[in-house]
Structure 1
Amino acid sequence: MTKFDGSEAALVHRHLHSHMPSDPALRVKALESLVVERGMVASETLDAWVEAYSEHIGPKRGAHVVARAWLDTSYRVRLLEDASEAIKEFGFEGHATGDLVAVANSDKAHNMVVCTLCSCYPFSILGMSPAWYKSSEYRARAVREPRQVLQEFGVDLPADTAVHVWDSTALQRYIVIPERPAGTDGWDENQLAAIVTRNSMIGTQRMLSLGPV
């Protein structure tokens, strides 16, 4: 007669479920299967969009905009004057950046972006917005107590550094241009873009890490 070992069964159960995708991932997969099965979209098209947002769009586009602004003073001026026009030089224009405004950090000013009404976001240059950006807590507290919110992100600002909070809307969205870190003299655009993060372009990160050099 086969002997049942409860401990071993529980171990096997945990092992199997550790390799299962999360519930949201399963739901997404089920929806994907349905729309492909019904001929609403080709699986190749879905794969192309996923690759575009994960490998090409994402925050990598915005990072190159920032890096160009660090390297090219004339481009920085154009970007701060009319960001929507300036990013066309990269071919990044789109519905989500039709009325884009660039705001620059300095040693005396820090900028942070929020959308208090919903979650408007320049996804065509920053990729998909993070979950916390869409949360009601961030949307409410970012305008009410920005310094405390920034501290929770690990950003401790001197008392004499002004904090400017920009409220995105469907008609106007923002990108923060962080300060260029010291020690990056001689770096090219690709090297600089590699250290620019999504959070720094939202304004919930101030110091950028140079990484291994």
Structure 2
Amino acid sequence: MSPDEHNHSELSPVQLRVRALETILSAKGYIDPAALDLIVERYQTRIGPHIGAGVIARAWVDVEFKRALLADATSAIAALGVVNHVGDHLIAIENVPGHHDMVVCTLCSCYPWDVLGLPPVWYKSAAYRSRAVSDPRGVLADFGVVLPEDTQIRVWDSTAETRFLVVPPRPAGTEGWPEERLARLVTRDCMIGTGLPRRAEEIPT
């Protein structure tokens, strides 16, 4: 088996179709492969969940910033200067004891790319988009998030104009931690509402 054949065998059917489409469009001169590589590299290394994690960590230690974030997430994050552009209408929603928020896009896959990077595959799936609305507690359980029965769950529907960022509760036992270490507790899923932050003992000193 040649190296190319070996690489192709490791790709999913969807990835193979994407590669074939890219090859055709490149051959016809509709797209520039180098430009595509730069876009992918940007979202994989420069833009991603680590941006959102830093925002959440700042909100955990800075009361004024948290207040500004919940009032106008677009302006608050832009003021940090961590990204060149923040969605025109990004809304931060806070998870607190007894109340849990999660985010979905029922129509397609609208997502705060500039803060969370590329959306996960499951976020774009028809199963998640339908069940998140009809059975949010069941979906959370599938992700390993089992909430008390009296916890109110609210589902927010993203659109092309409005995106959401969930602010999860700060884990116990993290008093006095610097922002950099706190950010390591924040997962992509907990900023969507389908997960919880890591526990303090999971992050080494």
Does TM, normalized by the shorter one, top 0.5?
yes
Match for 1:94 among 79, 85, 97?
85
Task: State the partner residue of 2:60.
Answer: 70
Bigger mean CA offset, 62-71 vs 49-58: 49-58
- Flag the 1:29–1:90 CA change in 2: closer, same or farther, 3 A: farther
Shift of 1:209: 3.6
- Coordinate RMSD, CA, aligned: 2.5
- Flag the 1:51–1:209 CA change in 2: closer, same or farther, 3 A: farther
Shift of 1:195: 2.1
Match for 1:106 among 69, 84, 96?
96
Shift of 1:105: 0.8
| 1:197 corresponds to 2:197 | no
Give yes or no for contact 1:84–1:93 (8 Å, CA) kept in 2: no
Which 5+ residue runs of structure 1 have no aligned equivalent?
1-11
Bigger mean CA offset, 164-173 vs 29-38: 29-38
- Flag the 1:79–1:212 CA change in 2: closer, same or farther, 3 A: closer
Shift of 1:155: 0.6
What does 1:23-62 correspond to in 2, within 5 Å? 23-33=13-23, 43-62=33-52
Give yes or no for contact 1:87–1:93 (8 Å, CA) kept in 2: no
Task: State the partner residue of 2:132.
Answer: 142
Deviant stretches of 4+, over 6 Å = none
Shift of 1:168: 0.9
The residue type equivalent to 2:175 in the other structure is: D
Distance between the aligned counterparts of 1:39 and 1:144, measured in 2? Answer: 44
Task: State the partner residue of 1:7.
Answer: none
- Partner SS, residue 176 of structure 1: strand
Task: State the partner residue of 1:119.
Answer: 109
- Flag the 1:138–1:88 CA change in 2: closer, same or farther, 3 A: same
Give yes or no for contact 1:83–1:100 (8 Å, CA) kept in 2: yes
Task: State the partner residue of 1:162.
Answer: 152
Bigger mean CA offset, 98-107 vs 199-208: 199-208
Task: State the partner residue of 1:21.
Answer: 10
Match for 1:153 among 140, 143, 165?
143
Q: Deviations over 1:83-126 (max 9, x none)?
A: 0111102333536x110100011112111001112211111111
Distance between the aligned counterparts of 1:93 and 1:18, measured in 2? Answer: 35
- Flag the 1:20–1:197 CA change in 2: closer, same or farther, 3 A: same
The residue type equivalent to 1:193 in the other structure is: A
Greater C-alpha radius of gyration: 1
Shift of 1:41: 5.5
Which 5+ residue runs of structure 2 have no aligned equivalent?
none
Query: What percent identity do the matched residue pairs reach?
Result: 48
Give yes or no for contact 2:60–2:66 (8 Å, CA) kept in 1: yes
| Count of equivalent residues | 199
